């Protein structure tokens, strides 16, 4: 404790803050990358006029409350205020659309990754570029606004993501880390910058419309991991810490997306490593030896924070429906006067799933709170279906919903592993799905038919990964790569567990997926029959 206190008082601690879908979380680390304090703020996106969004006030208040929570944790633990830091890094949900005019005014409500309203634009750009452009990417949102002839488009002076916006407000710098930028517009792996040929193609598409800007004028500047990305301004310090204790001048690393921080937090930035982040959404990332042979709409090509090629399968939905069912069981217990501990409730229900039939015994569930481009759905309705002769047991029911949380991911990853024959030595799992030991990990191993490792540090998550990237900026040696820094300095003594795929579980999940695909039409009909 005395060492941590001294680290904080001397300004040698590093802070990572990540804006997730349901929580904004801060992690403060010491010089050995060990968390010494943390803070959090709960928030929730809202559906306004058909758009999933957070307001600028939500962002500002959430940022301030999260930082306040961290600073209070420091004071409670060590009895000192936070006045200086060695470095800060911000990360957030990737993709989305935040467009500003020359005066810095937000021109349209923030459109998050969760929106699936850009199908026309995404399809047109994919065809134009010969490169998959997912619906949630910033360039798809921009082109859809152009196609829709939205009035604000001619006024755009800057386009960025949530992480880029927060970084800009605190430093004045319009930059992004290359991993986050790769979710705005395709990156050229050789130059670690936007693909210039595709930039020119996009400008040519827009030329007849006579806008007063070109794409390069409005996109953030791209920076690799380790680069200095500005310093905290006096205005930024006052915005972040309303108490006025925090001093200006702190260096910031390039803002990254939650995919990049997940890679850092799981030591999966080297070739043939991969990770799966499973929370509100779920995505798998595999660092490639070579780019895929074909264009697949189910697979995104992004980069590591260092700019190396990554295949990404991203699904909008993961644990929200599963959590809702657990909440229902909690309510049932309360009706009998039983107050169940949250961790115990999840552990009990998840553990029961291991007793279920390998193929879930004829049950099938869809966890779609929103649309899911991997399966071609623009909207979603959570749904549970079973044959009349299926065995409706608690074990089968819970196993079904755990399978459902990963089903769409499996559909996309089957293309990656079976069709493209991409090789991965180990997948690292992190996120809430893996908190109950051996359950989510084993089911993911079955879904991917690959070894899955969950390290002791997996629970630290994205904000810790962001703190690692900020630490790398200020503590790396000359010429030291991010992969070597993480492997040697951060994870050298890390412990964890590895689970090999159980062949019977693999066959059971494959059988479940066949049933899942067969019933997808009913899910599509439910979207039409139950409009929002």
Longest CA–CA separation in the chain, Å? 68
| Cβ contact 171:231 at 8 Å | yes
pLDDT of residue 325: 97
Is 195 inside a domain boundary? Answer: no
Residue carrying structure tokens 């670690």: 192
Is 151 inside a domain boundary? Answer: no
Q: How far apart (Å, rounded) are the C-alpha atoms in residues 471 and 462?
A: 14
CB atoms within 10 A of CB 347: 15
Same domain assignment for residues 435 and 509: no
Is 472 inside a domain boundary? Answer: yes
Is 154 inside a domain boundary? Answer: no
Same domain assignment for residues 425 and 390: no
Closest CA to 380 of 337, 440, 426, 317: 317
Same domain assignment for residues 347 and 487: no
Same domain assignment for residues 467 and 492: yes
pLDDT of residue 426: 84
Using a CB cutoff of 8 Å and minimum separation of 24, what contacts does 339-345 make? 343/435
pLDDT of residue 457: 67
Is 47 inside a domain boundary? Answer: no
Same domain assignment for residues 382 and 456: no
CA geometry: angle at 73 spanning 70 and 76, to 5°? 155
CA 77 to chain centre: 30
Return the structure tokens found at 301.
């090509």
- Residue 459 is classified by DSSP as G
| Cβ contact 11:86 at 8 Å | yes
Q: How far apart (Å, rounded) are the C-alpha atoms in residues 40 and 293?
A: 42
| Cβ contact 178:305 at 8 Å | yes
Q: How far apart (Å, rounded) are the C-alpha atoms in residues 306 and 304?
A: 5
Is 469 inside a domain boundary? Answer: yes
pLDDT of residue 281: 87
489 to each of 1, 262, 484, how far by Cα in Å? 22, 17, 8
375 to each of 123, 299, 368, how far by Cα in Å? 15, 12, 11
Closest CA to 519 of 364, 408, 392, 413: 364
Same domain assignment for residues 518 and 445: no
Q: Which residues contact 121 (CB under 8 A, 6 or more apart)?
A: 133, 140, 141, 142, 143, 144, 146, 147
Is 370 inside a domain boundary? Answer: yes
Same domain assignment for residues 461 and 348: no
Same domain assignment for residues 306 and 420: yes
| Total domains in the fold of the chain | 2
- Residue 82 is classified by DSSP as -
Q: How far apart (Å, rounded) are the C-alpha atoms in residues 222 and 19?
A: 20
Same domain assignment for residues 378 and 486: no
pLDDT of residue 435: 84
Q: How far apart (Å, rounded) are the C-alpha atoms in residues 198 and 186?
A: 8
Return the structure tokens found at 107.
């021109």
Q: How far apart (Å, rounded) are the C-alpha atoms in residues 449 and 20?
A: 28
pLDDT of residue 107: 98
pLDDT of residue 458: 57
Q: Is 265 helix (H, G, I), strand (E, B) or coil?
A: helix
State the angle between helix axes of 56-78 and 2-9 in degrees (0 to 180), rounded to the nearest 10.
Answer: 130
Q: How far apart (Å, rounded) are the C-alpha atoms in residues 238 and 245?
A: 9
Q: Is 430 helix (H, G, I), strand (E, B) or coil?
A: strand
Helix (H) or strand (E) holding 158: strand 158-160
Per-residue pLDDT of the chain (532 residues; tens, 9 = 90+): 679 999 999 999 999 999 998 899 999 999 999 999 999 999 999 999 999 999 999 999 999 999 999 999 999 999 999 999 999 999 999 999 999 999 999 999 999 988 889 999 999 999 999 999 999 999 999 999 999 999 999 999 999 999 999 999 999 999 999 999 999 999 999 999 999 999 999 999 999 999 999 999 999 999 999 999 999 999 999 999 999 999 999 999 999 999 899 899 989 999 999 999 888 889 899 999 888 889 998 999 999 999 999 999 989 999 999 999 999 999 999 999 999 999 999 999 999 999 999 999 999 999 999 999 899 998 999 999 999 999 999 999 999 999 999 999 999 999 999 999 998 988 998 878 888 889 999 999 999 999 999 887 655 688 999 999 999 999 999 999 999 999 999 998 777 899 999 999 999 999 999 999 999 999 999 999 999 8
Same domain assignment for residues 481 and 520: no
The pTM score is 0.85
Q: How far apart (Å, rounded) are the C-alpha atoms in residues 18 and 264?
A: 13
Same domain assignment for residues 346 and 490: no
Query: Please, is 295 exposed, middle or buried when counting C-beta atoms within 10 Å of its C-beta (0-12, 13-18, 19+)?
Result: middle
Enclosing domain of residue 389: 320-407+503-529
Q: Which residues contact 73 (CB under 8 A, 6 or more apart)?
A: 37, 38, 39
| Cβ contact 412:374 at 8 Å | yes
Is 156 inside a domain boundary? Answer: no
Q: How far apart (Å, rounded) are the C-alpha atoms in residues 400 and 409?
A: 15
205 to each of 134, 198, 365, 399, how far by Cα in Å? 18, 11, 42, 48
Same domain assignment for residues 328 and 394: yes
438: CATH: 3.30.420.40
């Amino acid at each position: 404790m005395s060492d941590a206190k001294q680290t904080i008082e001397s300004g040698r601690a590093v802070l990572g803050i990540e804006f997730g879908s349901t929580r904004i979380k801060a992690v403060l680390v010491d010089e050995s990358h060990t968390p010494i304090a943390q803070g959090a703020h709960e928030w929730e996106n809202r559906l306004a006029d058909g758009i999933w969004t957070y307001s600028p006030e939500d962002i500002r208040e959430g940022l301030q409350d999260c930082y306040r929570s961290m600073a209070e944790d420091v004071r409670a633990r060590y009895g000192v205020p936070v006045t200086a830091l060695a470095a800060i890094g911000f990360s957030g949900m990737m993709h989305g659309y935040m467009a500003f005019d020359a005066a810095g005014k937000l021109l349209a409500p923030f459109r998050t990754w969760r929106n699936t309203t850009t199908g026309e634009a995404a399809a047109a750009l994919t065809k134009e570029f010969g490169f998959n452009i997912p619906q949630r990417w910033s360039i798809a949102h921009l082109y859809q606004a152009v196609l829709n002839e939205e009035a604000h488009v001619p006024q755009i002076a800057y386009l960025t993501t949530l992480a880029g916006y927060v970084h800009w407000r605190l430093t004045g710098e319009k930059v992004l880390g290359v991993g986050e930028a790769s979710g705005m517009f395709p990156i050229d792996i050789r130059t670690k910058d936007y693909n210039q040929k595709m930039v020119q193609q996009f400008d040519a598409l827009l030329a007849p419309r006579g806008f007063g800007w070109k794409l390069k004028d409005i996109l953030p500047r791209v920076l690799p991991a380790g680069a200095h990305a500005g310093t905290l301004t006096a205005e930024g310090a006052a915005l972040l810490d309303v108490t006025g204790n925090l001093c200006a001048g702190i260096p910031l690393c390039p803002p990254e997306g939650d995919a990049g921080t997940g890679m850092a937090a799981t030591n999966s930035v080297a070739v043939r490593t991969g990770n799966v982040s499973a929370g509100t959404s779920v995505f798998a990332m595999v660092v490639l030896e070579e780019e895929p042979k074909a264009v697949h709409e189910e697979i995104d090509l992004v980069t590591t924070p260092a700019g190396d090629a990554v295949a990404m399968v991203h699904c909008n939905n993961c644990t929200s429906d599963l959590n809702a069912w657990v909440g229902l069981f909690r309510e049932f217990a309360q009706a009998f006067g039983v107050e169940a501990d949250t961790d115990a409730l999840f552990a009990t229900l998840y553990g029961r799933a291991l007793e279920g039939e390998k193929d879930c015994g004829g049950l099938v569930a869809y966890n779609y709170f929103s649309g899911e481009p991997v399966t071609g759905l623009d909207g979603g309705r959570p749904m549970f279906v079973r044959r009349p002769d299926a065995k409706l047991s608690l074990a089968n029911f819970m196993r079904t919903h755990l399978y459902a949380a990963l089903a769409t991911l499996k559909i996309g990853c089957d293309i990656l592993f079976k069709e493209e024959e991409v090789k991965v030595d180990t997948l690292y799992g992190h996120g809430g799905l893996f908190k109950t030991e051996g359950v989510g990990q084993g089911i993911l191993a079955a879904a991917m038919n690959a070894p899955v490792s969950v390290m002791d540090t997996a629970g630290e998550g994205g904000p810790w990964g962001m703190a690692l990237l900020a630490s790398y900026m200020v503590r790396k040696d000359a010429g030291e790569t991010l992969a070597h820094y993480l492997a040697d300095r951060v994870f050298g003594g890390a412990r964890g567990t590895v689970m090999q795929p159980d062949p019977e579980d693999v066959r059971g999940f494959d059988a479940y997926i066949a049933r899942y695909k067969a019933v997808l039409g009913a899910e599509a009909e439910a979207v039409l029959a139950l409009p929002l």
